[in-house]
Structure 1
Amino acid sequence: MIKVVKGDITKFRAEAIVNAANKYLEHGGGVAYAIAKAAAGDVREYIRISKEAMREQLGKDWIDHGEVVVTPPLQLEKNGVKYVIHTVGPYCGGSWDEDKKSKLKLAILGALKKADELGVKSIAFPAISAGIYGCPLEKVVETFVEVVKEFLPSAKSLREVFLVLYSQEDYEKALKIVGQGGV
């Protein structure tokens, strides 16, 4: 099931939440900063934890499209979060093309696969790349729905996938694409 909700992803109750990160896990702005702040209180500490996890899990200091890094939820655990899954979407700067769509699909799919591998039943995504990376929200939502619909039938544990949007305007735009009851 795919469902669009309005809210703050740092307060959302799901077993995993996805962070729309930059490739170095710097968490300097947008949803990445909000998640780091909510998880650790100290953003610099969460950056340190994230970079350490990246080196342990990937053996390098950056994430490519489709790769993910998993970090502990720390203070987000009070919301039932077990994992924060960091993924990197494309930078669009207001434009959209097949290459950007392909990179976004890899980012979403990587997070879905990791969540399923971890055995979680619910996962919450922000609109990856639609914020400070400047991808058109409508294209992000359409791509999100496409990837999730393709993935869910083969998922072992994952049952609920939420797209959490902070602003009323973004929520309403996404609802027009997904529909009131979800998919």
Structure 2
Amino acid sequence: MAVVTAVLGDITEQRVDAIVNAANNAMRGGGGVDGAIHRAGGPAVLEDCIARFPYGLATGDAGWTTGGALPAPWVIHTVGPNHRAGERDRSLLESCYRRSLAVADELGVHSIAFPLISAGVYGWPLDDAIAAAIETIDAVDTNVDDVRLVARDPEIFERISARLAEQP
């Protein structure tokens, strides 16, 4: 069973086996976490995205690329639902965490860092994004034993920490 912890910091600086990218469907980089990961990972991440995902990736799915220049050797890309655009099916958000952990297991990953998927520019309500992440990760049977939920914002970090403290 994975141990989930909250981390205040930059996901691109996490020393883990894999970091998760909250990507868009095109898989060609973007803003927010996606842009930060592509910038920090360098051109190798984009080149791998183009080679592995020539037609992009469906919402709720996940796949991997090299980590390029990142400390993590792997990036697991997942496409969260865009709440602001009307994609409000929570099962798609949960699928992002399940699929990311399945890909992590395929890669032999034991430590992974997630952002809060869809909680940024895609506008998923923050408390539900936190709950979906923690509940889904807790329910997945995985070989990953170290799961980090990384937040750059101290208030979001505190909210994640508080929710984790409520877990049995």
Q: Does residue 1:74 correspond to 2:60, yes or no? A: no
Q: Does residue 1:26 correspond to 2:17, yes or no? A: no
Contact between 1:95 and 1:136, CA under 8 Å: does it hold in 2?
Answer: no
Q: CA deviation at 1:177?
A: 1.1
**Could you say what secondary structure the match of 1:17 adopts?**
strand
* Matching residue of 1:141: 130
Gaps of 5+ in 1: 56-60
* Matching residue of 1:179: 165
Gaps of 5+ in 2: none
Contact between 1:6 and 1:171, CA under 8 Å: does it hold in 2?
Answer: yes
* Matching residue of 1:110: 99
* Matching residue of 2:76: 85
Contact between 1:96 and 1:135, CA under 8 Å: does it hold in 2?
Answer: no
In the superposition, the TM-score normalised over structure 2's length comes to 0.91
Q: How many pairs were matched up?
A: 166
Between the aligned residues of both structures, percent identity stands at: 36
**CA gap 1:50/1:94 in 2 versus in 1, 3 angstroms:** closer
CA distance in 2, matches of 1:103, 1:63: 13
CA distance in 2, matches of 1:148, 1:165: 17
* Matching residue of 1:13: 15
In the TM superposition, structure 1's runs of 4+ consecutive aligned residues that sit over 4 Å from their partners are: 94-97
CA distance in 1, matches of 2:87, 2:67: 32
Please tell me the residue identity of whatever aligns with 1:50. Answer: C
CA distance in 1, matches of 2:155, 2:47: 34
CA distance in 2, matches of 1:171, 1:95: 26
CA distance in 1, matches of 2:105, 2:96: 15
Please tell me the residue identity of whatever aligns with 2:35. Answer: Y
**Could you say what secondary structure the match of 2:160 adopts?**
helix
Please tell me the residue identity of whatever aligns with 1:165. Answer: A
CA distance in 2, matches of 1:73, 1:145: 25
**Could you say what secondary structure the match of 1:74 adopts?**
coil
Higher helix share: 1
Please tell me the residue identity of whatever aligns with 1:38. Answer: A
* Matching residue of 1:64: 58
* Matching residue of 2:47: 48
CA distance in 2, matches of 1:112, 1:136: 23
**CA gap 1:94/1:7 in 2 versus in 1, 3 angstroms:** farther
CA distance in 1, matches of 2:81, 2:87: 10
Contact between 1:24 and 1:51, CA under 8 Å: does it hold in 2?
Answer: no
